[in-house]
Structure 1
Amino acid sequence: MHAPVRLAVPLLAATALGHALHLLELLRGANLLARLRRGAQAPQIGWCFHTADGLPLAATDKTLGPLLAPMAQEGHCEGAPTHWLLAPLHTADIPSIRSVVAAHGLLVRRLALGLDQGEQVLTLGSGAWLAAATGRLGGAQVALPWYYIAGFCNDHPDIGVAVGQQHCSAGPWMSAAMPQQATALAVALAAQGLGHDLAQALEAATRPDPLREQAAFEAQQARQIRSTRDSTLARAIAFLEKHLEQPYALDAVAKAAAVSPRTLLRHFREGLGHSPLDHLHALRCARARVLLEITLEGIPGIAQACGYQDPAAFRRIFQRHTGMTPQAYRQRQSLRAPRQRWRVNPAGLGTAEKKPPGA
């Protein structure tokens, strides 16, 4: 089960605004994934900008300017915040951080009231000083950059530092040491507001994955084999990649590799530990994984695009290579919903297409 997430973002003069907006962009991505998977009625994470005193700013407030106004309108939500995002403070040193906190007593009191009422705080880097100043987080732990640890421990000895951790979740406090760890906070919020499956999808979409990158590239075009790798295996593999959709013929592969079929089988067995046909199945399944992830094409269409005329044979081979059926893989990994009626309007990304008659 998931609960509504409404994020309050105070705008202080010292706020490192870019880091706050980076987290909001990640949440925009999470909302987009939710709409792609579940349609226009999917739950959404909301946010609202607040003044330096902790008061909400209307999405139409002119002080937001042309940069923040569209973001405020997109995240518009009703009700009290469930979370407060305290971005890093753009200051020269720790004494300057203390001065900023001392100058924003109204915001600190609003944060304290919110914590008393069950709201949570998220902090990036030095934003932790604002959360700690509430006096409500004794006994908690916080993730901090190494260069802040000594000063923070002197100011707040009742709060522990999660040494060696780049992000930490302790009761009502989620923290990240460095702005690069904003993704971890976004994934945690997505789990609360959208569900664990969409949180996992967001994490997968924002995490570098060399294997998927290679599979996506190979699905678009055959990998180029450098002339310095002009070997029997290289020639055979290049042929298989180029003729991925065509029926398999050992004689044709051997001819492309300039060896006999028997010699080709020996090269594959000794060099890769499997047959040319097994290698072709692996290449086809790599393409199928990408198509299952990024398209709404049906299983028979994907089977044909990967060289299988029989969808049942494709299902058996795909399950042997991946450990799951194509449909199960799509449900677990895809960024789009498998059902045609959940496609979104490319212009608005907020309205689902009408369901076809008779569907």
Structure 2
Amino acid sequence: MPRAFIIELPCLEHSAIGHAAHLVEMLRSANLVASLRLGRRAPRFGWRWVDGQGRPLPAMPHADEGAAAEGPAQAVFVSALHCPDIPSIRDIVAAHPALVRRITTAFDQGLAVCTLGSAAWFAAAGGRCQGRLVALPWYFMGGFGLDFPGIELAEGQPFVDDRPWLSASHPEALAPMAVALTRHAFGDDLAAALAAVLQPDAQRERATRAALQDRRIPATRNSVLAHAIAWLEARVEQPYDLQALAHAASTSPRTLLRHFQQELGHSPLDHLHRLRCARARVLLEITLESVPSVALACGYGDASAFRRVFLRYVGMAPAAYRERHALRAPRRRWRVDALDGRATGIDV
């Protein structure tokens, strides 16, 4: 049976349950990415909603799905509290000694303890966080620093992985927390794949749009360099022609070379190779096209030349890159069930 990583989700009357549910949705995304990449061999996250005493809460988002994974909890996530002020936070923590003991035990057992915002008070109350670093909203730092002077406050860091304590200051930092949990549970490859799904990536966005061949030069981009870059982006798969590129940018080849070197530190040809490799990364990640087909789509008629360029600019061969970053497993891992037409994963 594939290995599972179980996260316990304690909820109190004052807990921001929606944020915990948001983390669950990202764990579901991690499970989906893992299944696309590995089929039936994929590891998976499980989760258990419990109250402050550790008793199950079945009527919670995706509770049955999370409970399907068997095994002991390996992490605890405590969501932020809906409180008007810091004294209210202190009162709630004092009123729930069982949850404080549960988190203290988790630290002692080496489990990952994850907190969002004001939930850091629960982690700190057991005395196991001395000398550690915590991410907090700025408006809680003063009170928390007075209560726990031995814990270092992270300035300008919305997420801190000071394992076994993982802390997020704001809900926006739950995505890097989910990625860190995936790395801790299942390794770098699945973590990188999840990060590609959860977190914005401007380079991938540009490469994807270019791959769709739907690029136009915006009217506001009127510099020589901007026009040249836009011209290259719209013609990634076409042969390199310095004279035509300079003509499109309304300048001479010599001046264009100088602009690229001064502003970007590389030549137009280097820039084209980077654009092509960016497109190739996207195609290797989200399609099942062969490496020669990807090479052709990126302007390389010779697959061997493409492999050399990709290795130089990306740091690994195309096949190795796909093995590490592809969101879906190769075709040979999938079949269509003849009875109901659904795609199912198979081990090979």
TM-score by length of 2: 0.79
Q: How has the CA–CA distance of structure 1 residues 234 and 118 changed in structure 2, closer, same or farther, with 3 Å as cutoff?
A: closer
**C-alpha deviation, 1:41, in angstroms:** 1.5
- Could you say which residue in structure 2 is the equivalent of 1:272? 260
Rounded Cα–Cα distance in structure 2 between residues aligned with 1:41 and 1:265: 54
Aligned AA (1:50): V
- Could you say which residue in structure 2 is the equivalent of 1:129? 121
Q: 1:222·1:241 contact (CA, 8 Å) conserved in 2?
A: no
Q: State whether structure 2 residue 77 is matched by structure 1 residue 85.
A: yes
- Could you say which residue in structure 2 is the equivalent of 1:73? 64
Residue of structure 2 aligned with 1:175, choices 163, 167, 176:
167
Aligned AA (1:16): A
Rounded Cα–Cα distance in structure 2 between residues aligned with 1:231 and 1:50: 59
Q: Which moved more, 1:139-148 or 1:270-279?
A: 270-279
Which sections of structure 1, spanning at least 5 residues, go unmatched?
none
SS of match in other structure, 1:8: strand
Q: How has the CA–CA distance of structure 1 residues 343 and 22 changed in structure 2, closer, same or farther, with 3 Å as cutoff?
A: farther
SS of match in other structure, 1:30: helix
Rounded Cα–Cα distance in structure 1 between residues aligned with 2:255 and 2:209: 26
Q: Which moved more, 1:263-272 or 1:173-182?
A: 263-272
- Could you say which residue in structure 1 is the equivalent of 2:204? 212
Rounded Cα–Cα distance in structure 2 between residues aligned with 1:235 and 1:91: 53
Q: 1:20·1:87 contact (CA, 8 Å) conserved in 2?
A: yes
Residue of structure 2 aligned with 1:150, choices 142, 162, 165:
142
Written as runs of structure 1 = structure 2, the 5 A alignment for 1:25-104 is: 25-57=25-57, 61=58, 63-64=59-60, 68=61, 71-76=62-67, 77-104=69-96
- Could you say which residue in structure 2 is the equivalent of 1:341? 332
Kindly provide the CA deviation profile for residues 215-248 of structure 1, in whole angstroms up to 9, marking residues without a partner as x.
Answer: 11111124212467689988877666555545x3
Q: How has the CA–CA distance of structure 1 residues 309 and 17 changed in structure 2, closer, same or farther, with 3 Å as cutoff?
A: same
Q: State whether structure 2 residue 345 is matched by structure 1 residue 329.
A: no
Q: State whether structure 2 residue 10 is matched by structure 1 residue 7.
A: no
**C-alpha deviation, 1:9, in angstroms:** 0.5
Q: Which moved more, 1:176-185 or 1:15-24?
A: 176-185
**C-alpha deviation, 1:199, in angstroms:** 1.9
Q: 1:162·1:168 contact (CA, 8 Å) conserved in 2?
A: no
**C-alpha deviation, 1:171, in angstroms:** 5.0
Kindly provide the CA deviation profile for residues 305-355 of structure 1, in whole angstroms up to 9, marking residues without a partner as x.
Answer: 233333223223333444432223323443334x2234598xxxx974458
Aligned AA (2:331): Q
**C-alpha deviation, 1:267, in angstroms:** 5.3
Rounded Cα–Cα distance in structure 2 between residues aligned with 1:123 and 1:31: 22
The alignment-based identity, stated in percent, is 48
Q: 1:97·1:126 contact (CA, 8 Å) conserved in 2?
A: yes
Rounded Cα–Cα distance in structure 1 between residues aligned with 2:138 and 2:205: 34
**C-alpha deviation, 1:278, in angstroms:** 5.9
**C-alpha deviation, 1:10, in angstroms:** 1.2
Kindly provide the CA deviation profile for residues 97-145 of structure 1, in whole angstroms up to 9, marking residues without a partner as x.
Answer: 1222233233333334444444342111111222233344455443322
The higher radius of gyration belongs to: 1
Q: How many residues align structurally?
A: 336
The alignment yields a C-alpha RMSD, in angstroms, of 3.7
Written as runs of structure 1 = structure 2, the 5 A alignment for 1:226-245 is: 226=218, 244-245=236-237
SS of match in other structure, 1:82: strand
**C-alpha deviation, 1:287, in angstroms:** 2.3
Q: 1:233·1:257 contact (CA, 8 Å) conserved in 2?
A: no
Rounded Cα–Cα distance in structure 2 between residues aligned with 1:43 and 1:153: 39
Q: 2:224·2:256 contact (CA, 8 Å) conserved in 1?
A: no
Residue of structure 2 aligned with 1:289, choices 267, 281, 289:
281
